[in-house]
């Protein structure tokens, strides 16, 4: 019999299996027998529900569409208010799952694993889809390996001037991405949108990053302008809380969202080519007091809504702290002019050198306009009542920075002390370092900071602290100013400081205490106070000011749409509770107030 005949179906064919009758089977009789599996075996899933942030990357990457994002409350409660997380968790349908483990590889937090267990039986077909969790007690098998991963964990390195070069001038120190770098960095984005939660303006970050990757910078900027009227500025000085929430922080480097924003805006000479829709005129008029980021934001959005807006700015340049306080090496004037110019091109009128209360009465604005928006900011330095601070060489940070940036001041003494540990104090210290380099070449010069806060609670960002250290700034953390020390000629000799015992009391309230027997002198001949700013409402008549309600923290009370206790008067920026003292917060509540003013002007409650 040849083989072909056998294949056709010989009557002897069934006997071919007889040879297996007495052989030991390979079948594992579970659970009577156990058969060990490989350490990286890909069985049923395990997920740490507390570590998981619900980003949905596992769902998006699954080639079998086996994963959905579901409410896990029927499994067990999770912290739905956790920063940088969504209140959903992955549910796996094992009727679809191919056990490829790509979901595990792409999990940015490392919460998702695969177990060594692949056995599950049930008569219920619906029981083969569930939300995996750690409590199921399965032994881990396949887990992530950062050495071999489809994720691009390392960020593009941003080029910047070396410390010894950047100290010699006020040139912008960050050089920005090239197009190739921007495309590569944009390619890292997983599009999960977790970053949007951290952004006070809730910008459409995945969309504008995708547009950058596609090479469409106009489209990218258009997405930005929907929520942030100063994207190029924020691309330079933003506190980038979006990056703090980026899912890559768990396994690698967060995406440089801020620098990508800067790249896209830098590619456009102006924003004329970005077609922004503008509603027909409503005939309504709005006055905005203050031309800082909050006032500019509100004015821009109100104009797109069809209202006529006039900004009243007391200084010779709009921009608020952006114009007067952010040093040139971080924010050049040309970028400020570019973005304010775009706002003016939309039809916003800006009246400079106009002080409310003197040049224009506040009550006249209430009579002439349909609504008023207060965006005055914290434009005055806060004194600490330091003994000897009346000396002319003891100045406020906000005044010093304005003199350097706007008035062109370039003189400085050789030994400067900066009181404060926040970002403004870093701006002052790094500005002084540049002035000293320009004037003296760093010969026999010092710039020292003194702050109540120790390193671990210093309010300045780590980027600013590191930059100051690189530029030679000397830090004295956990020391508090006691008094200014003068020499026999009445010149400043130094600052006496006391060692800090604690900054906050047991109730976490600001209540510093000191060791009275631990004192030292920091030697210097010029002192800059940078311990905070305050507002000035002297332009509002007393009887009207009494109607203005304040929060316990002495911020202006506003409702969800930014309206104050005075009908038709809205407020935003640093004077309200929702601001966190940065530009993006001010921009965000300026946008929110614009929505509220628009509702008010249309008679909506």
What pLDDT digit, counting tens, does each position of 129-148 carry? 999 999 888 889 999 887 78
**Cβ pair 449, 420 in contact under 8 A:** yes
**Cβ pair 544, 537 in contact under 8 A:** no
What is the predicted pLDDT for the residue at 487?
93
What is the predicted pLDDT for the residue at 6?
47
Burial class (CB within 10 angstroms; exposed 0-12, middle 13-18, buried 19+) of 5: exposed
3-state secondary structure of 421: coil
Q: Rounded to an integer, what distance in angstroms lies between the CA atom of residue 552 and that of residue 154?
A: 44
Domains of the chain: 45-136 (3.30.70.3270), 163-266 (1.10.1060.10), 285-379+535-601 (3.50.50.60), 382-531 (3.50.50.60)
**Cβ pair 272, 171 in contact under 8 A:** no
Q: With a cut of 70, which residues of the chain have pLDDT below it? A: 1-16, 21, 28, 30-31, 605
Q: Read off the pTM.
A: 0.88
The DSSP code for 182 is H
What is the predicted pLDDT for the residue at 126?
83
474: its two tokens: 């000397």
- For the segment 271-315, what is each residue's pLDDT rounded down to a tens digit? 988 878 899 999 999 999 999 999 999 999 999 999 999 999 999
Q: What is 460-503 written as a DSSP string?
A: S-HHHHHHHHHTT-EEEETEEEEEEEE-TTS-EEEEEEEEEEEE
What is the predicted pLDDT for the residue at 24?
74
Nearest Cα to 587, choosing from 324, 340, 228? 228
Characterize 369-405 residue by residue with b for buried, 16 or more Cβ atoms within 10 angstroms of its Cβ, and e for exposed: bbbbbbbbbbbebeeeebebbeeeebbbbbbbbbebb
Nearest Cα to 44, choosing from 86, 103, 109? 103
What is the predicted pLDDT for the residue at 1?
44
Residue carrying the six token digits 């790094």: 430
**Exposure of 141 in the CB half-sphere (CA atoms within 13 A):** 18
Q: What angle do CA 253, 255, 261 make, to 5 degrees?
A: 150
**Cβ pair 51, 42 in contact under 8 A:** no
Nearest Cα to 68, choosing from 89, 53, 52, 47? 89
């Amino acid at each position: 019999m040849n083989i072909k005949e056998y294949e056709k179906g010989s009557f002897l064919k069934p006997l071919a299996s007889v040879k297996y009758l007495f052989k030991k089977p390979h079948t594992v009789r579970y659970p009577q027998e156990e058969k060990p599996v490989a350490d990286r075996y890909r069985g049923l899933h395990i997920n740490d529900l507390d570590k998981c942030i619900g980003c949905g990357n596992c769902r998006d990457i699954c080639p079998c569409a086996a994963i959905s994002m579901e409410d896990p409350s029927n499994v067990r409660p999770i912290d739905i208010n956790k920063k940088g997380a969504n209140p959903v968790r992955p549910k796996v349908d094992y009727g679809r799952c191919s056990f490829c483990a790509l979901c595990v590889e792409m999990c940015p937090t490392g919460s998702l694993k695969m177990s060594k267990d692949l056995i599950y039986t049930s008569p219920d077909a619906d029981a083969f889809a569930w939300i995996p969790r750690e409590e199921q007690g399965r032994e881990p098998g396949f887990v992530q390996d950062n050495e071999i991963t489809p994720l691009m964990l390392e960020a593009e390195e941003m080029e910047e001037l070396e410390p010894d070069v950047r100290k010699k001038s006020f040139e912008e120190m960050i050089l920005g991405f090239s197009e190739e770098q921007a495309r590569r960095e944009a390619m890292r984005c997983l599009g999960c949108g977790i970053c949007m939660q951290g952004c006070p303006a809730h910008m459409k970050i995945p969309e504008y990053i995708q547009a950058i990757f596609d090479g469409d910078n106009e489209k990218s900027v258009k997405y930005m302008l929907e929520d942030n009227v100063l994207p190029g500025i924020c691309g330079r000085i933003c506190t980038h809380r979006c990056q703090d929430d980026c899912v890559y922080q768990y396994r690698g480097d967060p995406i440089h969202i801020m620098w990508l924003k800067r790249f896209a805006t830098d590619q456009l000479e102006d924003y004329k080519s970005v077609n922004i829709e503008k509603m027909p005129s409503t005939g309504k008029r709005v006055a905005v007091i203050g031309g800082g980021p909050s006032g500019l934001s509100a004015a821009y959005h109100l104009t797109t809504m069809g209202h006529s807006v006039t900004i009243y700015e007391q200084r010779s340049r709009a921009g608020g702290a952006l114009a007067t306080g952010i040093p040139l090496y971080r924010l050049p004037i040309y970028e400020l002019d570019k973005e304010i110019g775009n706002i003016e091109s939309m039809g916003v009128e800006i009246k400079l050198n106009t002080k409310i209360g003197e040049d224009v009465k506040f009550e006249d604005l209430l009579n002439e306009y349909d609504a008023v928006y207060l965006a005055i900011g914290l434009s005055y330095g806060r004194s600490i009542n330091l003994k000897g601070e009346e000396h002319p060489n003891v100045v406020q940070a906000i005044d010093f920075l304005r003199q350097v940036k706007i008035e062109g001041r370039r003189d400085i003494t050789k030994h400067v002390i900066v009181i404060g540990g926040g970002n403004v104090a870093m701006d002052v210290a790094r500005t002084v370092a540049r002035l000293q380099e320009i004037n003296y070449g760093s010969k026999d010069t010092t710039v020292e900071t003194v702050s109540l806060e120790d390193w671990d609670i210093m309010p300045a960002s780590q980027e600013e602290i590191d930059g100051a250290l690189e530029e030679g700034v000397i830090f004295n953390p956990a020391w508090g100013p006691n008094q200014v020390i003068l020499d026999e000629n009445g010149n400043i000799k130094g600052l006496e400081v006391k060692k800090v015992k604690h900054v906050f009391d047991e109730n976490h309230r600001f209540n510093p205490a000191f060791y009275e027997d631990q004192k030292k002198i920091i030697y210097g001949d010029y002192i800059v106070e940078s311990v905070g700013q305050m507002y000035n409402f002297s332009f509002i008549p007393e009887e009207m000011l009494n109607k203005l309600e304040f929060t316990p923290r002495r911020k202006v009370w506003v409702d969800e749409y930014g309206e104050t206790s005075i009908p038709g008067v809205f407020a935003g920026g640093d004077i309200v509770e929702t601001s966190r003292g940065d530009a993006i917060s001010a921009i965000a509540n300026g946008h929110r107030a614009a929505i509220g003013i628009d509702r008010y002007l249309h008679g909506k409650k």
